[in-house]
């Protein structure tokens, strides 16, 4: 008793776990993926400082792994919860990893010999991984996972593994945890750009999403940090970003602003322009929202670098034998422009995690019409759900950037800690 369960180990959940454990309260951190870190681990740099995302995140991931009061459960999801504030019983299901976690050293010898290559979810679709793999080189825990859906049982990894850690068979395990309180930090999913077929994602090779661009721009990503046209493999001479794809879109049922897309487009435009000064970079937008500390200055820096901001949204993207064609009305001048960019980046919006509706039902908590978690008050209490003892942090509440996700993780941690502390001192 007196433990806290944190569900979802992105930056918000990691921050909550560290803050709670810093007060001597044991934390169980539940993560569905084989590594903790969430979306922040996929990013290259972070605005407005252009700090390397993993340079900030990785030390926190390591702190979590080393903390004596934090137990990480990867490949795990919540099956059901019973009880109430002060005496929850949380049943978790751990999916098989096909690896002996206690002996795998993470050396990666098995990855080298595996002959199977498949689409890598972590590289947002533009990179590949093996059938036995680590999601990325700084994964925590630093061990591999075998994917039974793609393994062809060639046997090479069993032979090469020194400690004999690769398992032919493995099974699901169930674990029941006691918790005084729970923090839900399941984050977001990016908008599926195929729901806007007029923009040609996956049918036109030179149309990518902002998350795919993040992986492309990342030196440790699948292109080694090089911006590439998917059609030719060459560096594009011109790029157009299209904002608000899957945000501020009433017919799609996504009326809200996703908060980070303007800033992340400005960030990537700056990074590209700084490396390739001759490249023609345009951002097509409805409004630029640069609301945070240092954000407006960052926007001005982009303009000074020669990045063009065009107020107007193309209705579709067409292609002919010469490449992509976009028609845009500049809403400031009413001029109609025809553009022929070599690469288009769709700034996809944020929605709730795909697992959230099911999880909310199991947790007995309410969701908003948008699918994000309903909290006690939209201004005064954005971390308490309507069910006592269950708190919510980060982008599970609404779209947020990293600084706001961290602040929200800290706030949820304080409330969850209070419940656990009361129980301990009772």
Ligand X SMILES: Cc1cc2nc3c(=O)[nH]c(=O)nc-3n(C[C@H](O)[C@H](O)[C@H](O)COP(=O)(O)OP(=O)(O)OC[C@H]3O[C@@H](n4cnc5c(N)ncnc54)[C@H](O)[C@@H]3O)c2cc1C
Residues engaged in binding ligand X (CB under 6 A): 7-13, 30-33, 38-40, 43, 46-47, 77, 185-188, 190, 210-211, 214, 260, 264, 267, 353, 355, 359, 394-395, 400-403, 405
Query: x/- contact string, 85-104, with ligand SF4 (CB under 6 A)?
Result: --------------x----x
Per partner kind, with CB cut-offs from 5 to 8 A, the member of ligand SF4, ligand X, none near residue 398 is none
Is the omega angle on the peptide bond into residue 141 within 30 degrees of 0, that is, cis?
A: yes
> Token pair for residue 114?
């595996």
Give the x-and-dash track for 5-34 against ligand SF4 (CB under 6 A): ------------------------------
81 phi/psi in degrees, rounded to 5: -130, 150
* Distance (Å, whole) CA 332 – CA 314: 14
Q: What angle do CA 403, 407, 411 make, to 5 degrees?
A: 170
Q: Which of 22, 56, 65, 151 lies at the binding interface for ligand SF4 (CB under 6 A)?
A: 151
Give the C-alpha separation, 147 to 160, whole Å: 17
H-assigned helices in 237-279: 261-275
Environment class of 209 (CB within 10 Å of its CB; exposed 0-12, middle 13-18, buried 19+): buried
DSSP code, position 225: T
User: Which residues are paired to 329 by β-bridges?
Assistant: 336
Q: In whole angstroms, how close is the CB of 50 to ligand X at the nearest point?
A: 9
Q: Is 165 in the site for ligand SF4 (CB under 6 A)?
A: yes
**Comparison of 25 and 373: residue with beta carbon closer to ligand X:** 373
At 393, is the secondary structure helix, strand, or coil?
coil
Q: From the list ligand SF4, ligand X, none, which binds 206 (C-beta under 5 to 8 Å, kind-based)?
A: none
Please state the closest distance from residue 34 (CB atom) to ligand SF4, in A: 12
| Residue 315 CB neighbours (<10 A) | 10
**Tokens read off for 157:** 């990894």
Among 146, 229, 267, 415, binds ligand SF4 (CB under 6 A): 146
* Residues ≥6 apart with Cβ < 8 Å to 338: 325, 326, 327
Indicate the residue among 291 and 318 with the shorter CB distance to ligand X: 291
CA distance 186 to 393: 8
Peptide bond into 300 cis (omega under 30): no
Please state the closest distance from residue 210 (CB atom) to ligand X, in A.
4
Binding of residue 75 to ligand SF4 (CB under 6 A): no
CA distance 148 to 75: 14
Is the alpha carbon torsion for 105, 145, 392, 257 positive or negative?
A: positive
Residue pointed to by tokens 């897309």: 261
Q: How far is the CB of 278 from ligand X (least distance, A)?
A: 25
Q: Please give the size of the binding site for ligand SF4, defined by CB under 6 A.
A: 28
**Residue with smaller CB distance to ligand X, 77 or 123:** 77
From candidates 116, 175, 325, 414, binder to ligand SF4 by CB under 6 A: 116
Q: Is 170 in the site for ligand SF4 (CB under 6 A)?
A: no
Residue 186 binding: pick among ligand X, ligand SF4, none (C-beta 5-8 Å cut-off by kind): ligand X
Least distance between ligand SF4 and beta carbon 53 (Å): 25
207-209 and 343-348 strand pairing: parallel
Cβ–Cβ under 8 Å, residues 208 and 200: no
What does 187 interact with, of ligand X, ligand SF4, none (CB < 5 to 8 A by kind)? ligand X
Q: How far is the CB of 167 from ligand SF4 (least distance, A)?
A: 9
Q: How far is the CB of 253 from ligand X (least distance, A)?
A: 19
With CB cut-offs between 5 and 8 Å by kind, which of ligand X, ligand SF4, none does residue 342 bind?
none
- Which chain residues interact with ligand SF4 by CB under 6 A? 99, 104-110, 113-114, 116, 131-132, 143-144, 146, 151-157, 160-161, 163, 165-166
């Amino acid at each position: 008793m007196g433990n806290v369960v944190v569900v979802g180990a992105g930056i918000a959940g990691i921050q909550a776990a560290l803050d709670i454990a810093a007060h001597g309260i044991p934390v169980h951190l539940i993560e569905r993926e084989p590594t903790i870190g969430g979306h922040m681990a996929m990013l290259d740099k972070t605005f407005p400082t252009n700090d390397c995302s993993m340079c900030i995140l990785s030390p926190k991931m390591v702190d979590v792994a080393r903390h004596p009061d934090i137990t990480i459960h990867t490949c795990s999801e919540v099956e059901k919860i019973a009880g109430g504030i002060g005496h929850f019983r949380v049943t978790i299901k751990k999916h098989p990893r096909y690896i002996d976690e206690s002996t795998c050293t993470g050396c990666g010898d098995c990855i080298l010999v595996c002959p199977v290559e498949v689409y890598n979810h972590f590289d947002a679709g533009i990179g590949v991984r093996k059938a036995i793999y680590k999601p990325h080189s700084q994964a925590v825990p630093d061990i591999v996972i075998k994917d039974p859906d793609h393994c062809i049982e060639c046997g090479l990894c069993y032979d090469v593994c020194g400690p004999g850690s690769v398992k032919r068979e493995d099974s699901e395990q169930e674990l029941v945890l006691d918790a005084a309180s729970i923090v839900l930090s399941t984050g977001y999913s990016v908008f599926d750009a195929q729901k806007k077929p007029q923009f040609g994602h996956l049918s036109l090779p030179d149309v990518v999403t902002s998350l795919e661009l993040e992986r492309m721009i990342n030196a440790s990503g699948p292109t080694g940090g090089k911006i590439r046209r998917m059609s030719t493999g060459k560096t594009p001479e011109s790029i157009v970003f299209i904002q608000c794809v899957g945000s501020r879109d009433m017919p799609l049922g996504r009326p809200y602003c996703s908060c980070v897309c303007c800033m992340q487009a400005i960030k990537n435009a700056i990074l590209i322009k700084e490396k390739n000064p001759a490249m023609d970079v345009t951002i097509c937008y409805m409004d630029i929202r640069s609301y945070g500390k240092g954000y407006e200055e960052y926007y001005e820096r982009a303009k000074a670098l020669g990045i063009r901001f065009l107020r107007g949204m193309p209705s579709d993207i067409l292609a002919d034998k010469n490449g992509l064609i976009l028609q845009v009305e500049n809403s400031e001048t009413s001029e109609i422009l025809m553009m022929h960019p070599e690469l288009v980046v769709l700034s996809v919006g944020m929605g709730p995690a795909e697992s959230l509706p099911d999880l909310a039902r199991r947790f007995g908590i309410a969701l908003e019409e948008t699918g994000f978690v309903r909290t006690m008050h939209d201004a005064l209490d954005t971390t308490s759900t309507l069910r006592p003892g269950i708190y919510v942090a980060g982008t599970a509440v609404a779209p947020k950037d990293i600084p706001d996700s961290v602040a929200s993780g800290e706030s949820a941690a304080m409330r969850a800690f209070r419940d656990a502390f009361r129980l301990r001192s009772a």
